[in-house]
A and B are shown apart, each in its own frame.
Chain A
Amino acid sequence: MALSREQLAQRVAQELQDGYYVNLGIGIPTLVANYIPEGIEVMLQSENGLLGMGQFPTEEEIDADLINAGKQTVTMATGASVFDSAESFAMIRGGHVDLTVLGAFEVDCNGNIASYMIPGKLIKGMGGAMDLVAGADNIIVTMTHASKHGVSKLLSNCALPLTGKGCIKKVLTDLAFIEIKGGKFHLLERAPGVSIDEIIKLTEGELVIPEHVPEMSF
Chain B
Amino acid sequence: MAGFDKVVSSYEEAMAGLEDGMTVISGGFGLCGIAENLISEIKRKGTKELTFVSNNCGVDDFGLGVLLPDRQIKKIVASYVGENAEFERQMMSGELEVELTPQGTLAEKMRAGGAGIPAFFTATGYGTPVAEGKEEREINGRMYILEPAITGDFAIVKAWKADRYGNLVFRKTARNFNPMAATAGKITVVEVEEIVEPGELDPDQIHTPGIYVNRVILGTFEKRIEQRTIRTVSS
Contacts and interface: CB of A to CB of B under 8 A. Distances in A.
Interface in A124-162: 124-131, 134-135, 161-162
B180 A124 contact: no
B128 A56 contact: no
Contact of A134 (B29, B124, B160, B225): B124
A67 B102 contact: no
Interface range on chain B: under 10, 10 to 19, 20 to 34, or 35 or more? 35 or more
A73 B177 contact: no
Interface stretch (A7-15, A86-94, A205-213): A86-94
A93 B145 CA distance: 14
Tell which of A84, A128, A129 has the most Cβ of chain B within 10 Å. Answer: A84
B44 interface: no
B124 A131 contact: yes
Interface string A29-73: 000000000000000001111100001111100111111101111
Interface string B79-109: 1111000001001000000101011111110
B174 A65 contact: yes
Interface residues of A, number: 51
A127 B55 CA distance: 8
Contacts of A131: 102-105, 124
B29 A130 contact: no
A85 B29 contact: yes
Nearest to A68: B173
A162 B127 contact: yes
Contacts of B134: none
B103 A49 contact: no
Interface stretch (A98-106, A163-171, A183-191, A196-204): A163-171
Contacts of A70: 227
A123 interface: yes
A46 B125 CA distance: 20
A82 B33 CA distance: 13
B233 interface: yes
A125 B80 contact: yes
Interface string B29-65: 1111100000000000000000000010000000000
B32 A65 contact: yes
Contacts of A64: 32, 174, 223-225
Nearest to B127: A165
Nearest to B178: A84
B199 interface: no
Nearest to A55: B231
Nearest to A133: B124
B99 to A, nearest CB: 10
Contacts, number: 174
Would you call the interface of chain A mostly helix, strand, loop, or mixed?
loop
B175 A130 contact: no
A134 B230 contact: no
Contacts of B230: 56-59, 62, 73
Nearest to A127: B80
Nearest to A132: B104
Nearest to B171: A65
A131 B55 CA distance: 14
B18 interface: no
B171 A134 contact: no
B231 A57 contact: yes
Nearest to A163: B128
Interface string B203-216: 00001000000000
A130 B128 contact: yes
B102 A71 contact: no
Contacts of B29: 48-49, 67, 71, 85
Tell which of A48, A57, A72 has the most Cβ of chain B within 10 Å. Answer: A48
Interface of A: 46-50, 55-59, 62-68, 70-74, 76, 82-86, 88-89, 92-93, 112, 117, 123-131, 134-135, 161-166
7 contacts: A57-B231, A64-B32, A84-B180, A85-B55, A85-B104, A130-B103, A134-B124
Q: Which 5 A-B pairs have the closest CB atoms?
A: A165-B127, A89-B104, A124-B82, A131-B104, A64-B223
